[in-house]
């Protein structure tokens, strides 16, 4: 598929990085386009091989932190800039529509050089999920649902046979156990 670079609009060329197809902006900014799940195959040292991979690793770092949001060349929707989940120091552009990543020149080498340990990776992902507004909204809704379930159980206890069999002490009168 022909596509243009989301940064400089030059044509991107498909290259083989050792079994993984990557689009490279050869005649422009030297950015890299990874389709969905392709970057995970190359994000650690010693993954992938070939001249194209080595050339990409030698591109100097070039990144404009003040540029406008990129638009995905495939989906035509705005991409989101965030820290790469396996690197503490690199911001990447991700399309939430097709799952692709765009890396500015030099960011690929940074990712491979600064990968997180498995413990750091887990902590980062947990923080990422906790900071999402959707997660907080779901937690609030869960609290409301638990309160509602407790109230319904309390106010309908007399409808259950177990209420009378235990002399008015029903197991449902106990509060719902809280999550740790």
Tens of pLDDT along 71-127? 999 999 999 888 776 656 778 899 999 999 998 888 887 877 776 667 777 887 788
Q: Give one word for 19, left, alpha or beta, with left for phi > 0 and alpha for psi -120 to 50.
A: left
CA 68 to chain centre: 20
- Reference 107, options 84, 90, 129, 95; nearest CA is 90
| Helix/strand/coil for 124 | helix
Angle between helices 133-155 and 118-130 in degrees, nearest 10: 70
Most confident of 26-30, 151-155, 160-164: 26-30
Kindly state the average pLDDT of the residues 140-164: 80
pLDDT of 54 reads 66
pLDDT tens across 3-36, in order? Answer: 999 988 999 988 888 788 889 888 888 888 989 8
Which of the 8 DSSP states describes residue 37?
T
Q: How many residues does the chain have?
A: 180
pTM to 2 decimals? 0.58
């Amino acid at each position: 598929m022909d596509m243009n670079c989301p940064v400089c609009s030059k044509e991107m060329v498909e290259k083989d990085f050792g079994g993984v197809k990557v689009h490279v902006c050869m005649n422009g900014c030297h950015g890299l386009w990874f389709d969905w799940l392709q970057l995970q195959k190359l994000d650690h040292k010693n993954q992938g091989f070939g001249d194209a991979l080595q050339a990409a690793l030698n591109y100097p770092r070039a990144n404009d932190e003040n540029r406008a949001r990129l638009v995905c060349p495939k989906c035509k929707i705005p991409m989101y800039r965030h820290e790469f989940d396996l690197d503490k120091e690199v911001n990447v552009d991700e399309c939430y529509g097709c799952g692709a990543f765009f890396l500015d020149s030099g960011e690929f080498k940074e990712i491979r050089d600064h990968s997180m340990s498995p413990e750091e990776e887990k902590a980062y992902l947990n923080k990422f999920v906790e900071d999402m507004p959707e997660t907080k909204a779901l937690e609030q809704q869960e609290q409301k649902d638990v309160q509602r379930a407790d109230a319904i159980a309390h106010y309908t206890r007399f409808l259950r046979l177990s209420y009378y069999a235990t002399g008015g002490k029903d197991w449902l009168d106990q509060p719902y156990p809280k999550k740790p």
